[in-house]
Structure 1
């Protein structure tokens, strides 16, 4: 059996392909909505955040052969916990991560290494700023941007109760919240940018399947500044950006 952390839109397909190649799979996700997406295609799911010790206990208890980490590129704590659990349990750790995108040197594209730097760059640019970075780091942006002259802060995020509660706690007005679940077409992105008069868009670099390229390209074509937070640099060891590589590594680990 394979223990698999799922956190991207293509993780489900990878889990199905692993299963189709003869492996039993136990997936792990954080949210109920993600769990429902996996359950509906017959995948076994464990829901909720897990520590390294908890992961290791599951691996030992169920006799897992390997840990496959297909969590989001920015899920640094999940990566660290999965790698620690693999070491503790003596099983291989295999990372699946989408290939990064290569962008031209566009004058409206601002690549930064962190959320803090993104907030400071947005503060410098001013205007109508649309965040598409989720609720977890919203406080970093509200701390720097809310109440600043010549800045309107708009947050696009998943329509989850915890996100709405966080917006309320941080003082983000309802008129500046876009509670919606993707994926989004180019037309949808453009319509939202135009509706909110967006002049700056903040996003994370997560790879093509996550549709960040369409979000970025449509913004640039509309003359919108794009602040792109680059992926954290993590030494994963065994890492693949294609499904067959993961499956071949699992066969080797049998």
Structure 2
């Protein structure tokens, strides 16, 4: 039985692929909406974050391996999964969606942290659109909202808790774009034009996260683009394709 951390849009497809090999999968997700999507694909799921100890205890109830398909920026979840797998004596496999080849461009600035991204956005000023989600929103609101020369636009998932967080942090309703991606390049262009964006901030989530399209759209309009690099995590057994995951899982199961 496989314990799958399902934190990306492609994780459900991976779960389906694994079940087609005859393995039973339980997908761990954070939201009820994600759980419903998995259930519709006949994938058993559980909802809610787990500490390393909680996950280790769960793994000892009959699981044989951990596959981590969490978001590239969910480093805490990955570290907990690695620790839990070690405690339970189970193999751990990381499915890390492929990154995006971003050519050097004078309008594209790479940074390593959210704090650096907020500083860079503050330096550039103007209309700043965030596509970095709600978890780190406060990092940006603290530095950008007090500035009269900056209008902060927050694009995030249309969830009640996200809207409540925006309200609590002082993001005006007119400056919230509540939509679920991934988005096409044409839609990105339309949003950039509608809000007259001059700077955009995004995470390097990979090709499936449509990062390349967002960058191409922004650069084509002359928009300053700040890209936050993926956090450095030492993943055991890292794979970039479903085939690699299955091959690695089969090899580890045979040990």
Question: TM (normalized to structure 2)?
Answer: 0.98
Deviation at 1:147, TM superposition (A): 2.2
Deviation at 1:36, TM superposition (A): 1.2
For 1:178 and 1:157, the matched residues in 2 are separated by: 6
Deviation at 1:188, TM superposition (A): 0.8
Deviation at 1:253, TM superposition (A): 2.5
Partner of residue 48, structure 1: 48
Gaps in structure 2 of 5+ consecutive residues: none
Partner of residue 163, structure 1: 162
Residue 14 of structure 1 pairs with residue 14 of structure 2:
yes
Aligned length: 253
- Tell me the secondary structure at the aligned position of residue 202 of structure 2: strand
Residue 249 of structure 1 pairs with residue 241 of structure 2:
no
Deviation at 1:68, TM superposition (A): 0.2
Residue 37 of structure 1 pairs with residue 37 of structure 2:
yes
Q: Decide whether the 8 Å contact of 2:100 with 2:211 is kept in 1.
A: no
For 2:224 and 2:240, the matched residues in 1 are separated by: 29
Partner of residue 60, structure 1: 60
Q: Deviations over 1:139-164 (max 9, x none)?
A: 00000000203110000001111111
Q: Decide whether the 8 Å contact of 1:97 with 1:241 is kept in 2.
A: yes
Q: How does 1:27-106 map to 2 (within 5 A)?
A: 27-61=27-61, 63-106=62-105
Q: Deviations over 1:126-178 (max 9, x none)?
A: 01000000001000000000020311000000111111111111111111011
For 1:247 and 1:131, the matched residues in 2 are separated by: 36
Q: Deviations over 1:36-71 (max 9, x none)?
A: 11111000000010111111111111x111100000
178-187 or 199-208: bigger deviation: 178-187
For 2:5 and 2:236, the matched residues in 1 are separated by: 16
- Tell me the secondary structure at the aligned position of residue 60 of structure 2: helix
For 2:80 and 2:23, the matched residues in 1 are separated by: 23
Partner of residue 110, structure 1: 109
Q: Deviations over 1:170-208 (max 9, x none)?
A: 111111011111121111111110000001010000110
For 2:244 and 2:63, the matched residues in 1 are separated by: 19
Deviation at 1:32, TM superposition (A): 1.0
Deviation at 1:124, TM superposition (A): 0.3
**Runs of at least 4 residues off by over 4 Å:** none
Q: Deviations over 1:232-252 (max 9, x none)?
A: 010012100011111011112
For 1:206 and 1:79, the matched residues in 2 are separated by: 15
Q: Decide whether the 8 Å contact of 1:65 with 1:253 is kept in 2.
A: no
Gaps in structure 1 of 5+ consecutive residues: none
